[in-house]
Structure 1
Amino acid sequence: MKKSKKTAVKKTPRNRKPEEMSLEAWQIALRKEFGRAQKFRLKNLGAEAFFSDFSVTNPQSGNTYRVAIRSLQTGMNYCSCPDFAVNSLGTCKHIEFTLGKLEKKTGGKKALAAGHRPSYSSISLRYGAERQIVFRPGREAPPAFLKIVSKYFGPDQLLRADAYARFERFLEEAKSAADGHEWRCYEDALNFIAQRRDQAGLRERIDGLFPQGSRSAALEKLLKVPLYPFQKEGALFLAKAGRALLADEMGLGKTIQAVAATEILARAFGIEKVLIVCPTSLKHQWKQEIRRFTERSVEVLEGLTAARTARLAHESFYKIINYDVVHRDLPLLEKWAPDLIILDEAQRIKNWKTRAAQSVKRLPSEYAIVLTGTPLENRLEELHSIMQFVDRFHLGPLFRFLHEHQMTDEAGKVTGYRHLSKISESLKPILVRRTKGEVLKDLPGRLEKTFFLPMTPEQKQHHDENGEIVARIVQRWRRTRFLSEKDQRLLTAALQNMRMSCNSTYLLDDKSDFGVKADEAVAFLQDFFEKPETKAIIFSQWLGTHELILRRLKKQKWSHVFFHGGVAGPERPKLVERFKNDPQCRLFLSTDAGGVGLNLQNASAVVNMDQPWNPAVLEQRIGRAHRMGREGPVHVVNFVSEGTIEHGMLDLLAFKKSLFAGVLDGGEDSVFLGGSRLKKFMESVEKVTGNIPASSPAAAISETGGSTQAGAG
C-alpha cells in the first residue's frame, strides 16, 4: 500500500501582503513561520515548565535574548530583542520559536491555550503602536492593594497620563498596602517611566536657564562667537528634544548649532563625554571648529586600534571618530559610554543594511544630535533608517511605515509615495529644518549660470557610439522588461562613457585631449581672478578632469590645492587650512570627496565641470561655499556639453527633489515614480537619452575664448 503524501504547507509570501490578511496578521504569520523553522537554543530560566522566562540563543550570530511566556495570546509575552520592541505586533521570531518548542511538550498546547494568571501582580511595558504601562493583577492580590492601584491606573489597567510624575508615590503606597502580596515592576517599564519624566524635566530645566528663549541674554555668551537668531532657536530645539535631527539646508551652520546645543546640555545637566561620528575628511575640521567656538578639550581618534584605544583613554570633553572604524571600536565606545552622540553627515547610515549603520545604531547615549542636510535622497527607507538612531519608536516599524506611505502596482513594485505631509507633521517634535530662503536675510546671494559648450568631433564620436549601445539595450528593455546582468553592466559602462566623453576624450583613453571644458574653466577663472581676493572651488567626479586642469594651471600664477579620496586623512585639514589662509592659494580642486561637510565659505565661486545624477550631491558641492559666514554672493558655474547626455540630465532630477520637499519642505503630498528600481532606472535612462536636444550653432566658442551662456539665473 502506497504511503499518502504529506500536503505541502503553503508559505506566507514575504514580499507582498495577501489580500485576505491584515497587515498585522501578515507580519505575525511571517515571524511565526520563520521562528518555528529555526534551530535556536532554548533554556528555561525559571521553575515552571511553560509559563516562565527563557533564554533564546542564535548560534549563528551568538546573540541571546530573554523571552517571557505568559499566553498564546499576542501581546501577552515579551522578548528583549530589538524587533519585539519596535514592531508593535506583540511577538517576534524568538517568542514564536519558544512557543513552537513548548507546544510540542506533553500538555503544552492545553496549558498555553488556558493562559497564565500568576499569584503575583505585575507592572510591565506593553509594546505596540503606542507604548503603555499596564498593570496585571495576580490571583491573590488583596483589595487594599487593588484600591491603591486604581488611583494610578485606569479601568483599562493602563497608567494614567498624570501618574507618571507621581510614580514614586505609587510605589510607596503599593508597598505599604501589599501586605505580603508579591508584585513585580519590570525594568523596561521603570526605564520608560523615567524617560517620560526626564523629557519633561529637560524642557523645564532649559526653560529656566533661558527664560526668554532665543532672546535670552545667556545665549549671547554661550560660545566664543555670536549665533544668528535662527541658530539660537535651533540649538535650543536640539537641547530640549534630547534626541533630535537637525536637517537645515547646507550652509546654515549645523556644526555651530550642535556645539551650542552641547553647551546648553553641559550647563543644564552636566554632560561630560561627547562622541562625534563623522566622515574621515571632517574629523580635523570638527576639532578646529570646536576650538574656535569653545574652550572644551577635544581628541581625534585616529591611527591603528592601539592608538585609538589610547586616545580614547585621554581626558577630553569631545572625542571624534569616523564612521568606518565604529564597528571595530564598538566595545570600547560602549564601555566609555558617551553622554551625547553627534552624528555628522548622517546620510552615511541611510542604508540600514550596512555595517556602519548597524554599528552606529548600537552606540549608547542619553542624548543624540543628528546632522544632515539630506536625510532623504532617493527612498523613504533612508529617512526611516536615520530616524532609528534618533528614536527607533517614532516612525514605527519599517513594514508599517512603508505600507502607509508607499504605493505599489499589482506586482508589488513601488510606483510612488503618499501622505508625505503626515510624515512631516509627525517629525515636528524631533526634527528642525530651515531652508536658505527662510533665513535669506542672513545669507549671501547665490548667482547661477550654466554654460552650454560644443563637443569636438572626437568627443561626439565616443558619445554617440556609446549612445548606440544604450539605445539597443533600451529597446531590448522595452520589448522584454528584463535585462541580464551582462546587459546591466554594459549599460552602466556605456552611460559612464557618455558622461566622461562630455569632459574630454582623455577620460576614456588616457592619451588624447579633445574637449573644451578645461580650457573654458581656465578662461572663466582668468576673468574671475582679476579681483585679487577672490577664490574658487572646481568640482569634478573624475580625477582625469582635474589632471587636465592641472596641466593648464602650469601656465598660470595661481597657487592651488587638490583634494580627493586618495589624500591621507591627516593631510586633508592642511589642504583646507592652506586654501583658507594662504592669499596666494586661489583654487581648490576637488572630487566629490570634498563635497561633504567642508567649510570653504572663503570661496567666491563654485565651478561644476560635470553634473552628478543625484541633486543632493550637487547641493553638497555648492553648500561648501554658499553657507553662513560668507560675505558677498557666491557664483555657481555649470559647464554642460550641449546636445549630449548631460544636456538631457537637466530635467532628470525632479522626482528626487519633489520627494525630499514633500517630506521636509512642505511640498507635494504624493510623488509618483516607476515600478522596480531597475524599471525606474531604465525609465530615467530613456528620459535622459530621449531628451537630448540637438546641438545649436549658438553654442560655438567665440574667437575671444568666451562662450555663449544660457540658463541661469
Structure 2
Amino acid sequence: MPRQPASVSRPAAAPRLSRTRKPDQMSLEDWQAALRAQFGREQPFRIQRLGDEPVFSDFAVSNPESGGHYRVAIRGGLPGDNFCTCPDFATNQLGTCKHIESTLAHLLRKRGGPAALRNGFTAPYSEVYLEYAGQRCLRFRAGADCPPALAKQGRKLVDGSADPDCALEDFLRTAGKTGHEVRCYDDARAFLAELRDTRRRRELFAQAYPQGAQSKALRNLLKAPLYPYQAEGALFAASAGRALIGDEMGLGKTIQAIAAAELLSRHCGVERVLVVCPTSLKYQWQREIARFAGREAQAIHGLRPARQQQYASDAPCWAKITNYETLSRDLDLIQAWGPDLVIVDEAQRIKNWNTIAARSLKRIASPYAIVLTGTPLENRLEELVSIVQFVDQHRLGPTWKLLNEHQQRDEAGRVIGYRALDRIAGTLAPIMLRRRKAQVLDQLPGRIDNTLFVPMTEQQRVHHDENGAIVSRIVQRWRKTGYLSDADQRRLTCALQNMRMSCNSTYLLDHETDHGSKADELMTLLEDLLEQPDAKVVVFSQWVRTHELLIRRLEARGWGHVLFHGGVPSQRRPALVDRFHEDPGCRLFLSTDAGGVGLNLQHAAAAVVNMDLPWNPAVLEQRIGRVHRLGQKRSVQVVNFVAQGTIEEGMLSVLAFKRSLFAGVLDGGESEVFLQGTRLSQFMASVEKVTGAMGEPESGIADESAAAAGEAGVPVASAAAPALPSPPEAGPAPDPWAALADAALPLLQALASRGAGTTPAAPWIERDPHTGQEFLKLPLPQPQTVQRLADALRGLLSRPPSA
C-alpha cells in the first residue's frame, strides 16, 4: 500500500515531532515526510490558487517571513503525485515538501477537498512529468480523452524502450496530429536534455581524443604541456560537464580547470567563464589564464557601479574572476551576464550550505561547472554534501538519508563515528576525480615531517592553566546540570583560544611581555635550515602577533623576510611573493592561514615550519602544500612546534581522527571510523588531564574577514572552537564569586610560600635587582569575570540593611 502523506493520514491534533530524534514507531521516510507536514502547518504560508480547478490546480505559495515564492501543482494525495519548485522537493526523494503539505492541509479544510483527494484526479489532457519520489524518473499520465494508440506510445516513452534522442519529439508530434492535448513540463524536458547532452558530450570527446590522456592534441592543448594525470583530469571534467577535481594540494588543479574550460570552449561552445575564488587569488587566476590559455580574463573589482560596468562590458573577455565576498551582492549582475561555465576554486569555502556565499553560488545557473578543492571534506559529511550539491544536487541523494546510512551515533544521538565511507566514494566516482601525491610520486619530491615538543615557561604555564581551569569548571558544570549558558559558551571559547595563544608566548595575550620558548627554538632551527646561502623557509602561524615576535629576532640577525596575512591588500600581495622568489636576501616567508591561501612557493623554499597547529588537518596540509607541490625539485622538510603537556599536544589525537575520516571517504581508506567514546566524554577526560582534546575542533576559517580578525591575536571568542550544544532545560546561573576565589587562592598560596631565596615564588612577584624590594604584579582578569563581579557587588550594595 503506498505511503500516505502525513497531512492526509494523520489527525490535526497529532503530537509534535522532534526534528532530531525519530519516533520508534515510524520509518525514516515517514518521519521526514511528517516533519515537512509539521513545518507546513507551523509556517505562515500564503496560498493563492492559479488555475480554475478548486482542488487539482496550480497554487502560488509564499512565505512573508523569508520572502520565498514557489509554485505548487496538486494532482493527488500520494507522494509523487504533486510538484513544487522548491529545492527541497527536488532533492529529498520524498515526493513532497512543506509547501505541498501546507497546500494539501489548506485543501482538506475546504468543502469537497477531502473527497476529491481520496478519489484522485483524472484530467482530460495527458501529462509527461518528472517524478521525484525516490530516484528521479520520467512518468506519463494518460488523460481521460487520450487515444489508446497514443497512450501506448506514451508508456514506451517512459519505460526506456523508445529511442531517447527522438522519442519525446515524435510523441509530441503524434499527439499534435491527433488533436489530443499533452502537457510536457519544463523539468521533464530538462531531465531528458541533460541525459542526452551528457551522452553526446562523452561521445564527442572520445572521438576527438581517442587515446584519452595520452592523446598528443590533449597534452599540447595549452601553452604549457600537461602531465598525463593533468590531461586525464581536464578530459574527465570536460566530459562530465559538471565535475569536482579533488586532487591533493600541489597537483595543479588550476591548470586542469583551465584546460577543461579550453576543451569546453573548443568543442561545446562555452564563451563565458566565471571564476569564483578567494580575494587573494583573483589576480593569480588572471595571470595563469593568460599564461596557459592565452585568453583575456578580467578580475572584477571596485565598488558596485564599477563591478556592474565590468559585467556589462562588451569588450572581448573569455573569463571574469570574482571573489566569494561579493558573490551575493553581484548575484543579479552575474545572472544577467549568464556564464556558460562556473569554476569554483578553494570550494571548501562553501562547505557550510547555509552561508551567504554557498546559497548565492547555488543560485547561479550554468550548463557546466568545475569545482576545485584539495579538501572537499574537512570535518563533517555535511560539508561534502554542500560542495557536491553545486556540482550535482541529486548525486548523493537527500542529506537525511545519507547521514542515516553513514553516521554512527551513541545512545544519546551524538555522532561518534562513520561507516561504509567507501560507498560514498563509489557514488561520487562519475563526477569526482581525486589523485594523491603518492600516485604521481615520480613527479614529486620526498617529504620529511618532524614534531618538536617545546617546554613551557612558568609564565606561559600560569596563563595556560588559569584558562584550563576555567574550561574545567565549565565542563564540570555541564556534566552536573546538562546546561551551558551563552555566557559560559563565550567564556569557554575565549579560554580555549587563550590556552592556544599562551603556547606561543605571553605576548599574544598581553602584548607586552615575551615569555615563551618557541621563537628562540625557531632561531636555533633556522641557523641550520639557512646554512646554505640559497635556502629559504616558510613559517606559518595563525596569529600575526607570533610573527611580530619573530620579526624582532630576524631583524637582529639580518635575515630578510616578508609578512603575508589577511590584512595585506590584494594589490600588494604579488610584490611580496615576487620578492621572496627573486630577492636572495629575503630568506623567510611569514604567513598566517588567511594570507596563505593559494600561494605557490615551491620554487623558492624547501622547508615549512608551523609555529602552532591548526585545529583542522586540512588547514595543516594546505600550509605544507604551499611548498610540497608539483614543481618542487628538492626534498621538503616540515617542522611542527608543539608546546609540551598543553592543549596543543592533545590536539594531535584530534588531528589523527579527522585525517582518518578524510581518508575513508576520499582516499579509499578504512570504511569504518570511530571515536573512542562520545565527543563530550573525550572533551572532559582531556580537560582533566590538561592535554587539550578540547571537544570538536574548529571547522576552519570561513572567509578572509573572519580570518583577519582571528589573526590579530586578541584573546576573544573568535574561530577557536565551536561551543558545545545546549540542552533545552535551564540550569543554575554561574557563580560570580567563583572566579574571584579561584584567582585569590593561588595568590595567597604564592605569598605564603615566599622564601628568602633570590627567585620569586610566583610570576606575579617581582624583585628589584638593585634594592631587593619585592613588588606585586597582578594579571588582569577576563572582562567577563570583572563584569560578573561588578554585578554581584551591585546586588549586595542595593540590598537594604538587616534589622
Is residue 559–residue 587 contact of structure 2 (8 Å, CA) maintained in 1? yes
Shift of 1:366: 0.6
Structure 1 CA distance for aligned equivalents of residues 193 and 438 of structure 2: 40
Q: Equivalent residue for 2:83?
A: 78
1:37-63 Cα distance to aligned partner (Å, 9 max, x none): 333222222221111112112222333
Tell me whether 632-641 or 350-359 shows the greater mean CA deviation: 632-641
Structure 2 CA distance for aligned equivalents of residues 307 and 666 of structure 1: 47
Shift of 1:77: 0.9
Q: Equivalent residue for 2:193?
A: 194
Cα 1:601–1:74 shift into 2, 3 Å: same
Given residue 338 of structure 1, which amino acid in structure 2 is its aligned partner? Answer: P
Is residue 648–residue 691 contact of structure 2 (8 Å, CA) maintained in 1? no
Given residue 166 of structure 1, which amino acid in structure 2 is its aligned partner? Answer: C
Where does 1:158-169 land on structure 2 (aligned, <5 Å)?
A: 158-160=158-160, 163-168=163-168
Structure 2 CA distance for aligned equivalents of residues 686 and 437 of structure 1: 39
Cα 1:620–1:94 shift into 2, 3 Å: same
Cα 1:686–1:345 shift into 2, 3 Å: farther
Shift of 1:456: 2.5
Given residue 627 of structure 2, which amino acid in structure 1 is its aligned partner? Answer: A
Q: Equivalent residue for 2:784?
A: none
Q: Percent identity?
A: 59
Is residue 83–residue 96 contact of structure 2 (8 Å, CA) maintained in 1? yes
Is residue 250–residue 620 contact of structure 1 (8 Å, CA) maintained in 2? yes
Cα 1:460–1:48 shift into 2, 3 Å: closer
Is residue 565–residue 596 contact of structure 2 (8 Å, CA) maintained in 1? no
Is residue 414–residue 674 contact of structure 1 (8 Å, CA) maintained in 2? no
Q: Equivalent residue for 1:703?
A: none
Structure 1 CA distance for aligned equivalents of residues 596 and 325 of structure 2: 18
Structure 2 CA distance for aligned equivalents of residues 132 and 331 of structure 1: 32
Is residue 448–residue 635 contact of structure 2 (8 Å, CA) maintained in 1? yes
Where does 1:227-266 land on structure 2 (aligned, <5 Å)?
A: 227-266=226-265
Cα 1:148–1:489 shift into 2, 3 Å: closer
Shift of 1:75: 1.1
SS of the counterpart of 1:655? helix
Q: Equivalent residue for 2:311?
A: 312
Shift of 1:686: 5.4
Shift of 1:161: 6.2
Where does 1:426-437 land on structure 2 (aligned, <5 Å)?
A: 426-437=427-438
Gaps of 5+ in 2: 1-10, 695-803
Given residue 263 of structure 2, which amino acid in structure 1 is its aligned partner? Answer: I
Structure 2 CA distance for aligned equivalents of residues 7 and 216 of structure 1: 65
Tell me whether 460-469 or 227-236 shows the greater mean CA deviation: 460-469
Structure 2 CA distance for aligned equivalents of residues 179 and 433 of structure 1: 52
Identify the match of residue 639 of structure 1 among 638, 641, 657. Answer: 641
Structure 2 CA distance for aligned equivalents of residues 405 and 371 of structure 1: 24
Cα 1:487–1:102 shift into 2, 3 Å: closer
* 2:289 equivalent to 1:290: yes
Q: Equivalent residue for 1:378?
A: 379
Q: Equivalent residue for 1:622?
A: 624
Gaps of 5+ in 1: 1-5, 693-713
Tell me whether 498-507 or 276-285 shows the greater mean CA deviation: 498-507
* 2:143 equivalent to 1:138: yes
Structure 2 CA distance for aligned equivalents of residues 575 and 76 of structure 1: 61
Where does 1:178-577 land on structure 2 (aligned, <5 Å)?
A: 179-314=178-313, 315=315, 316-577=317-578
Shift of 1:417: 1.6
Shift of 1:236: 1.0
1:142-174 Cα distance to aligned partner (Å, 9 max, x none): 123234335x34xxxx33166322325533652
Is residue 654–residue 693 contact of structure 2 (8 Å, CA) maintained in 1? no
Shift of 1:584: 2.9
Cα 1:118–1:454 shift into 2, 3 Å: same
Cα 1:468–1:687 shift into 2, 3 Å: closer
Structure 2 CA distance for aligned equivalents of residues 173 and 33 of structure 1: 44
1:85-113 Cα distance to aligned partner (Å, 9 max, x none): 11111111111121222222221211121
Shift of 1:286: 1.3
Is residue 474–residue 686 contact of structure 1 (8 Å, CA) maintained in 2? no
Q: Equivalent residue for 1:32?
A: 37
1:162-213 Cα distance to aligned partner (Å, 9 max, x none): 632232553365236x521111111111111000000001101111211110
Where does 1:664-679 land on structure 2 (aligned, <5 Å)?
A: 664-673=666-675
Is residue 118–residue 139 contact of structure 1 (8 Å, CA) maintained in 2? yes
Cα 1:270–1:451 shift into 2, 3 Å: same
Structure 1 CA distance for aligned equivalents of residues 585 and 692 of structure 2: 46
* Two-structure CA RMSD over aligned residues (Å): 2.2
Matched residues, number: 681
Structure 1 CA distance for aligned equivalents of residues 347 and 107 of structure 2: 44
Q: Equivalent residue for 2:175?
A: 175
Given residue 272 of structure 2, which amino acid in structure 1 is its aligned partner? Answer: K
Cα 1:475–1:220 shift into 2, 3 Å: same
SS of the counterpart of 1:570? coil
Structure 2 CA distance for aligned equivalents of residues 466 and 222 of structure 1: 57
Given residue 602 of structure 2, which amino acid in structure 1 is its aligned partner? Answer: Q
Cα 1:677–1:587 shift into 2, 3 Å: same
Given residue 660 of structure 2, which amino acid in structure 1 is its aligned partner? Answer: S
Shift of 1:483: 3.7
Cα 1:540–1:87 shift into 2, 3 Å: same
Is residue 413–residue 676 contact of structure 1 (8 Å, CA) maintained in 2? yes
Q: Equivalent residue for 1:103?
A: 108
SS of the counterpart of 1:308? helix
Tell me whether 633-642 or 535-544 shows the greater mean CA deviation: 633-642
Structure 1 CA distance for aligned equivalents of residues 380 and 147 of structure 2: 55
Structure 1 CA distance for aligned equivalents of residues 653 and 150 of structure 2: 69
SS of the counterpart of 1:54? strand
Structure 1 CA distance for aligned equivalents of residues 353 and 136 of structure 2: 24
Structure 2 CA distance for aligned equivalents of residues 643 and 530 of structure 1: 31
Where does 1:41-52 land on structure 2 (aligned, <5 Å)?
A: 41-52=46-57
Q: Equivalent residue for 1:709?
A: none
- Return the TM-score normalized by structure 1: 0.91
Structure 2 CA distance for aligned equivalents of residues 16 and 570 of structure 1: 51
Structure 2 CA distance for aligned equivalents of residues 100 and 107 of structure 1: 13
1:289-334 Cα distance to aligned partner (Å, 9 max, x none): 2222121101001111111112222331111111111110001111
Given residue 175 of structure 1, which amino acid in structure 2 is its aligned partner? Answer: A
Structure 1 CA distance for aligned equivalents of residues 35 and 119 of structure 2: 24
* 2:126 equivalent to 1:121: yes
Cα 1:649–1:179 shift into 2, 3 Å: closer
Cα 1:427–1:162 shift into 2, 3 Å: farther
Given residue 543 of structure 2, which amino acid in structure 1 is its aligned partner? Answer: W
SS of the counterpart of 1:555? helix
Cα 1:163–1:60 shift into 2, 3 Å: farther
Structure 1 CA distance for aligned equivalents of residues 72 and 12 of structure 2: 32
1:396-454 Cα distance to aligned partner (Å, 9 max, x none): 11111111112223332222222111111111111111111111111111122222223
SS of the counterpart of 1:666? coil
Q: Equivalent residue for 1:708?
A: none
Tell me whether 285-294 or 114-123 shows the greater mean CA deviation: 285-294
Is residue 453–residue 643 contact of structure 2 (8 Å, CA) maintained in 1? yes
Given residue 160 of structure 2, which amino acid in structure 1 is its aligned partner? Answer: R
Q: Equivalent residue for 2:719?
A: none
SS of the counterpart of 1:658? helix
Given residue 104 of structure 2, which amino acid in structure 1 is its aligned partner? Answer: L
Structure 1 CA distance for aligned equivalents of residues 174 and 687 of structure 2: 68
Shift of 1:507: 1.4
Structure 2 CA distance for aligned equivalents of residues 298 and 582 of structure 1: 29
Cα 1:431–1:686 shift into 2, 3 Å: farther
